Amino acid sequence: MNLDGLLEDGSWQFDGPASAAFRLAPDTTARRGALVEHILGRPEPDPELWESILIETFLNHPAASDLQRLRLEMTDFHHSARRAASAIARQPRTALTELWFGHPFRYLYETATTSTGRGFNPLDHYDEGFVGDAGGAMWQALPALRTLTVEGALLFHAVSAPAVIHVRSRGVISSDGSVLPGPLPTLTHFELEIATDVFGTACPVEQLEELTPASFPALISLDLTRAEFDGEPLLTLANLPILSHLTSLRVGPHELDDTEWAAIAPHFDHLSLTISGT
């Protein structure tokens, strides 16, 4: 099919042939059912499936094969995340180097609101994940992916993009509650943004212990400036083998006293350490 209907809907936005971004357009909601019926050749009675149909329609179109940058900001991600991953996996995306994948949220694990106004609990998908077992094939279809941003909760079982070098994660990247991707042998830069969740719980600082040289052998830059933990990340990192691999470390303000800092400061002498607020 041609893309005229998708262009008129406005949920897909294009910046030339190499860049596409998706987010449901609020102004064309009333006409979206008719567009979906035109695409499918039949009505789709569940409006919460319409988003995924719009995503699939473009990603399955020949025009999507040459994309270099793709942004998917999903509202009905309880359906769309898995179906978007499956659509990406249907053909090798050999030109795609940048991907943003996720959903909007204010507080981690807050009740999500669908396009119909219905709420659902993201934690109902704990361990199962929103992408589920569709993730493995998606990563294999992205051999050129270098930069990845994931925003949301419990999306993937794992991130296994074969050539990614820069990952930014806001929220909980893994379906088992882990904030870390991987293992990723090519990853050089990792940024983590995570705040206290909707229950008032901060990220366990012990999760940083999963940053091992075996899982992330190329990692040289770690940015935790916007990451809130239930303990001091500097105390944890000081004793991790991965620290000797790093050349750059950024963290938020710490609450270490002078004695505590003096005891661990030599561990960080070899790298560029930035502590915000100091």
Rounded Cα–Cα distance for residues 133 and 174 (Å): 12
Q: What are phi and psi of 59, to 5 degrees?
A: -65, -25
Provide the phi-psi class of 246: left if phi over 0, else alpha when psi is between -120 and 50, else beta: beta
Whether 55 is covered by a domain: the verdict is: no
Whether 277 is covered by a domain: the verdict is: no
| pLDDT value at 39 more than 90 | yes
Confidence (pLDDT) at 255: 87
% of the chain with per-residue pLDDT over 90? 96
Whether 94 is covered by a domain: the verdict is: yes
| Alpha carbon separation from 188 to 70, 93, 118, 142, 244 (Å, rounded) | 21, 22, 40, 18, 14
**Residue 28 near residue 11, CB atoms below 8 Å:** yes
Q: What is the pLDDT of residues 198-256, one digit of tens each?
A: 999 999 999 999 999 999 999 999 999 999 999 999 999 999 999 999 999 999 998 89
Whether 135 is covered by a domain: the verdict is: yes
| pLDDT value at 2 more than 80 | no
Confidence (pLDDT) at 1: 62
Q: Enter the pTM of the model.
A: 0.96
Confidence (pLDDT) at 278: 62
For residue 192, what are its two tokens?
Answer: 């983590």
> Residue 19 pairs with which residues in a beta bridge?
69
Q: Give residue 105's domain range.
A: 18-23+66-201
**Residue 251 near residue 278, CB atoms below 8 Å:** no
For residue 174, what are its two tokens?
Answer: 């893994």
Q: Residue range 70-94: average pLDDT? A: 98
- pLDDT confidence band for 98 (50 / 70 / 90): very high
Report the domain count for the chain: 1
Whether 59 is covered by a domain: the verdict is: no
Whether 276 is covered by a domain: the verdict is: no
Whether 258 is covered by a domain: the verdict is: no
Q: Residue range 65-69: average pLDDT? A: 96
Q: What is the mean pLDDT of the chain?
A: 96
% of the chain with per-residue pLDDT over 70? 99
Whether 210 is covered by a domain: the verdict is: no
Rounded Cα–Cα distance for residues 179 and 149 (Å): 13
| pLDDT value at 44 more than 70 | yes
